[in-house]
């Protein structure tokens, strides 16, 4: 199963051109949804206004060489290794999900566009990458959902409580989970395979089609925010902020005790 391209048997029901058109449509939905999110929430305007304020408050300009160094640090620390997460469990879960998602999406595109039929068998490592990516998503995603989420781990809420912001994680887990079940059932010729393929397509469509209402676009904004933060630290504009207090608040001043996280 792990070395078999699950899309190669689909031409009996769906032509390769339809599968390829579907992937292109999902890409267009992501681009359009992200642009809508930027315009609707004015994320780009906020970023550039904050950037101007950072430069105005800075004690000195940041040179071109330093800018390049900051960009490299942002990519290496904040993007590739998710260095903004202090909690190691949350960081590992995020990295598993992120790299699993990349492997899942890239290998899907390769198999559908380059090896869409049994006459053009995909190399075993491409199919293995697809399955491993889906498994990484499931491990990281379910670990986060049931054990790491703040409202579950710290507040004791039910792991089945969901809000609109959870749409991205749920649909990503659904796409990977249904995809794995579909591949497994198809490899043994089970008739239920088509049902799980349909569920896989549904979850994938919701994942890429709900960008304006989910946290999907957030992944594009985080690197820009991390870069702006590092530039602010380099030019001294963040040095004017008060340092966080490490002293506990004295009980009785407000009549409330701090929540136990």
Tell me if 197 is assigned to some domain: yes
Contact indicator for 201, 179 with CB cutoff of 8 Å? no
Give a yes or no: residue 80 inside a domain: yes
Residue 84 falls inside a structural domain: yes
- Residue of 225, 223, 217, 233 lying closest to 36 (CA atoms): 217
Percent of the chain with pLDDT over 90: 39
The radius of gyration of the chain from alpha carbons, rounded to an integer in Å, stands at 22
- pLDDT score at 153: 54
CB 126 within 8 A of CB 2: no
Cβ atoms < 10 Å from Cβ of 150: 10
**Does residue 256 carry a pLDDT above 70?**
no
d(CA 137, CA 98): 7
Structural tokens at position 76: 């290496």
Specify the DSSP element, H or E, that contains 149: none
- pLDDT tens per residue across span 97-141: 999 999 999 999 999 999 988 888 889 999 999 999 999 999 999
Q: Is 231 inside any structural domain?
A: yes
In contact, 60 and 237? CB cutoff 8 Å = no
Contacts of residue 105, defined as CB under 8 A and 6 or more positions apart, other chains included, come to 133
Specify if 126 maps to a domain: yes
Domain limits for position 210: 10-235
Residues 26 and 170: their CA atoms lie apart, in Å, by 17
If one counts every other C-beta atom within 10 angstroms of the C-beta of residue 116, the result is 21
Instruction: Dump pLDDT digits (tens) for 181-236.
Output: 999 999 898 989 999 999 999 999 999 998 877 777 677 677 777 777 777 777 76
Task: For residues 224 and 63, give the distance between their C-alpha atoms in angstroms, rounded to a whole number.
Answer: 18
pLDDT at 255: 43
The pLDDT value recorded for residue 211 is: 84
pTM for the model: 0.80
Within 10 A of 186 (CB to CB), how many other CB atoms are there? 21
**96 falls within a domain:** yes
Domain count of the chain?
1
């Amino acid at each position: 199963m792990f070395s078999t391209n699950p899309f190669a048997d689909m031409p009996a029901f769906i032509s390769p051109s339809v599968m390829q058109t579907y992937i292109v449509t999902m890409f267009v939905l992501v681009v359009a949804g992200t642009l809508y999110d930027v315009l609707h929430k004015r994320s780009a305007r906020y970023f550039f206004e904050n950037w101007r304020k950072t430069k105005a408050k800075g004690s000195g300009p940041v040179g071109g060489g330093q800018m390049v160094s900051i960009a490299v640090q942002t990519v290496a620390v904040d993007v590739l290794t998710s260095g903004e997460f202090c909690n190691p469990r949350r960081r590992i879960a995020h990295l598993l999900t992120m790299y699993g998602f990349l492997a899942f999406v890239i290998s899907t595109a390769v198999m559908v566009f380059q090896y869409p039929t049994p006459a053009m068998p995909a190399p075993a490592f491409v199919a293995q990458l697809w399955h491993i990516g889906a498994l990484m998503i499931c491990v990281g995603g379910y670990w986060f959902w049931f054990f790491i989420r703040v409202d579950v781990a710290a507040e004791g809420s039910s792991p089945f409580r969901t809000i609109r912001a959870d749409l991205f994680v749920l649909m990503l887990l659904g796409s990977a989970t249904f995809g794995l079940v579909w591949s497994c059932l198809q490899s043994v010729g089970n008739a239920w395979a088509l049902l799980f393929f349909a569920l896989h397509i549904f979850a994938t469509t919701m994942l890429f089609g709900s960008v304006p209402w989910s946290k999907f676009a957030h992944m594009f904004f985080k690197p820009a925010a991390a870069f702006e933060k590092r530039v602010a630290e380099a030019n001294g504009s963040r040095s004017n902020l008060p340092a966080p207090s490490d002293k506990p608040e004295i009980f009785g001043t407000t009549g409330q005790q701090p929540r136990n996280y």
